[in-house]
Amino acid sequence: MASIWLTKLLGSCFRRADDVEEKKHDWLLPAHTKFPKGRTLAIVVLDGWGEQIPDQYNAIHVANTPTMDALKKGAPEHWRLIRAHGQAVGLPTDEDMGNSEVGHNALGAGRIFEQGAKLVDSALSTGKLFHGNGFRYIQECFAKGTLHFIGLLSDGGVHSRYDQLQALMKGCAANGARRIRLHVLTDGRDVLDETSFKFVEQLESDLRELRKHGVDALIASGGGRMYVTMDRYENDWNVVKRGWDAQVLGEAPHKFKSALEALTSLKAENPKFNDQYCPPFVIVDHGGKAVGPILDGDAVVTFNFRADRMIMLAKALEYADFNKFDRVRVPRIHYAGMLQYDGELKLPGKYLVSPPEIERTSGEYLAKNGLRTFACSETVKFGHVTFFWNGNRSGLFNDKLETYVEIQSDQGITFNEKPGMKALEIGRKAQDAILSGKYDQVRVNLPNGDMVGHTGDMKATVFGCEAADKAVKMILDAVKKVGGIYLVTADHGNAEDMVKRNPKTGQPLLDKDGNIQILTSHTCAPVPIAIGGPGLIPKVRFRTDLPHAGLANVAATMMNLLGFEAPADYEPSLVEVAN
Ligand SMILES: O=C(O)[C@@H](CO)OP(=O)(O)O
Ligand SMILES: [Mn+2]
Ligand SMILES: [Mn+2]
């Protein structure tokens, strides 16, 4: 008896040891038979830098960008285009433009995951959303409290989509919500400027419909996404505070009877009015009382599926211990995010749809294989090369092997005011990291094409692209000095197209006053990828058998360039060594 017991025990010990061994083995990347190890690899992501018709509305084409132009001459062996939008990055359709979250997720994870937009679509269409724990949690407040929705009023599909909000409101009403308040953030960044009017009209009509069915449903507050609530990476907490005051406290410098009146009056008052920077406003009743502050016993849903610009608000709503601004009054609420926005912080704790499970990212593999990584950008893009790159996971995998450096972004300005942004500082930090010999991978994001492109200011965007090009040169020079390798790419298009075009002719579209319609959003354009540097062994070239490759093919490429085979389930590497 005892010996059987002992055999079993020993057996299980051995099995456990085997399992551990297997786990460890899983993480070890085999050495590549052709690509050597030990060459510093610089990875540069030009944010918002796509390939488009080379005309006067293409800021990258107009800009003087000798470094990027020289890389292009390496085509087709060392320069090519890859997909950065639609299904290639896990978005619902090929009509969906790319964005930083899905772009950097794909770059870092080496595989295509169904992204938030798609997961929410399916949770809504199957009705699964209304049966989950997150929904039950907010539902507990429906009988006595108000249900508040806070999010981006847009159909851009980058942070949110209006049809999802519609389905959510309807579903909540059908499942018992009796009082609903909307706290809207106007867009103008993923959609054309001043489309806020159209979205507010649509929302008012949907709320009227709900009221007909006995639901007390109203817009309670509003503000522009870049000035109210949707800051990211803790660049400027004042942005979140402005939103808090309007949404929670029911206080704002501007008070109106309706959201449409708010937009119309604010625009009439200020010739520079635009959707992105609309000041905060509160809707009041005839007695001047805010119609929907967030109170004890209420439920709150942040309906954006994208993470970065919801995390700060999620912290303010969820953390008992919070010192970023004076919340004045902290209501006891049931709060759920559309998704969980940060997998490491488990923030928020309750959510309506489970986020994509982006695991085994390249960053984690590199750390497990002892490679040393340096990642850097300025605040507004810092999380892109860290948090997004690592599958929406904050923090380091290994603090002995990784260094993440954030350069503080300018605060309180629109980036056309200082279009150079911190590109040269990022270039300098990358240079130092490369020359130090302390890192195997040095990874940066250069924000100009995107952040300045979003302002719609052509001249400033041209300047910004030139600054980014200079930073690329600084990095390439350092790579040259240490005999390293570079991989330069982008996460999606933006600066290469500054006007809305007729899809058939490619000519710019005019608005009703005859002015060219400015495009502030991302695009569906492919993006360049270039490799090179003295560390690249002879005869390395891009494969020609992957014409539809996208951002997800970059991680395996990078692992090869570092001397490793990529995991078998990663999208294939773009490079080969010719015979
Ligand atoms: O600024 C943002 O939030 C988006 C556009 O909505 O841009 P990016 O995906 O490049 O971060
Ligand atoms: Mn981007
Ligand atoms: Mn952008």
Tens of pLDDT along 223-256? 999 999 999 999 999 999 999 999 999 999 999 9
Q: Which of 522, 523, 527 most suits a substitution to test ligand 1, by most atoms within 8 Å of the C-beta?
A: 522
The pLDDT of residue 55 is above 60: yes
Q: What is the pLDDT of residues 38-47, one digit of tens each?
A: 999 999 999 9
28: which DSSP letter?
A: P
pLDDT band at 23 (very low <50, low <70, confident <90, very high): low
Q: What is the pLDDT of residues 127-177, one digit of tens each?
A: 999 999 999 999 999 999 999 999 999 999 999 999 999 999 999 999 999
The pLDDT of residue 361 is above 90: yes
- CB contact at 8 A, 151 and 352: no
The pLDDT of residue 425 is above 70: yes
**Ligand approaching nearest to the C-alpha of 104:** 2
CA 283 / ligand 2 centre spacing (Å): 34
Give the atom of ligand 1 at the shortest distance from the alpha carbon of 309.
Answer: 3
Closest to 316 in 3D by CA, of 383, 250, 251, 241: 241
CA distance 244 to 241: 5
Catalytic residue among 3, 100, 221, 436: 100
The pLDDT of residue 19 is above 50: no
Query: What percent of the chain clears pLDDT 70, i.e. is strictly above it?
Result: 96
Burial, 515: exposed, middle or buried (Cβ in 10 Å; 0-12, 13-18, 19+)? Answer: exposed
Give the atom of ligand 1 at the shortest distance from the alpha carbon of 48.
Answer: 10
Closest to 530 in 3D by CA, of 479, 565, 494: 479
Give the atom of ligand 1 at the shortest distance from the alpha carbon of 47.
Answer: 10
Residue 100 bears catalytic tag:
yes
pLDDT band at 25 (very low <50, low <70, confident <90, very high): low
Average pLDDT of span 463-472 = 98
Q: Is 190 in the pocket of ligand 1 (CB under 6 A)?
A: yes
Closest to 531 in 3D by CA, of 553, 547, 514: 553
pLDDT band at 2 (very low <50, low <70, confident <90, very high): very low
Q: Is 497 in the pocket of ligand 1 (CB under 6 A)?
A: no
Q: What is the pLDDT of residues 264-320, one digit of tens each?
A: 999 999 999 999 999 999 999 999 999 999 999 999 999 999 999 999 999 999 999
Instruction: Please state the three-class secondary structure of 170-210 as a single string.
Output: HHHHHCCCCEEEEEEEECCCCCCCCCHHHHHHHHHHHHHHH
- Number of Cβ within 10 Å of residue 201's Cβ equals 13
Instruction: Please state the three-class secondary structure of 424-437 as a single string.
Output: HHHHHHHHHHHHHC
Give the CA radius of gyration of the chain.
25
CA 315 / ligand 1 centre spacing (Å): 20
Mean pLDDT estimate for the chain: 95
Q: Is 160 in the pocket of ligand 1 (CB under 6 A)?
A: no
Closest to 283 in 3D by CA, of 202, 198, 223: 223
Least confident range from 6-20, 111-125, 258-272: namely 6-20
Give the atom of ligand 1 at the shortest distance from the alpha carbon of 491.
Answer: 10
CA 358 / ligand 2 centre spacing (Å): 19
Q: Is 154 in the pocket of ligand 1 (CB under 6 A)?
A: no
- CB contact at 8 A, 475 and 482: no
Q: Which of 97, 158, 185 most suits a substitution to test ligand 1, by most atoms within 8 Å of the C-beta?
A: 158
What structural domains and CATH numbers belong to the chain?
29-114+357-577 (3.40.720.10), 117-353 (3.40.1450.10)
CA 159 / ligand 1 centre spacing (Å): 8
Max CA distance (Å), the chain: 93
The full DSSP string for 114-140 is --HHHHHHHHHHSSGGGGSHHHHHHHT
**Ligand approaching nearest to the C-alpha of 225:** 1
The pLDDT of residue 9 is above 50: no
Q: What is the pLDDT of residues 532-551, one digit of tens each?
A: 999 999 999 999 999 999 99
Give the atom of ligand 1 at the shortest distance from the alpha carbon of 187.
Answer: 6
Q: Is 309 in the pocket of ligand 1 (CB under 6 A)?
A: yes
Average pLDDT of span 203-217 = 98
- CB contact at 8 A, 375 and 405: yes
The pLDDT of residue 12 is above 80: no
Average pLDDT of span 427-451 = 98
Q: Is 275 in the pocket of ligand 1 (CB under 6 A)?
A: no
Would you state the pLDDT for residue 469? 99
Would you state the pLDDT for residue 579? 87
CA 131 / ligand 2 centre spacing (Å): 34
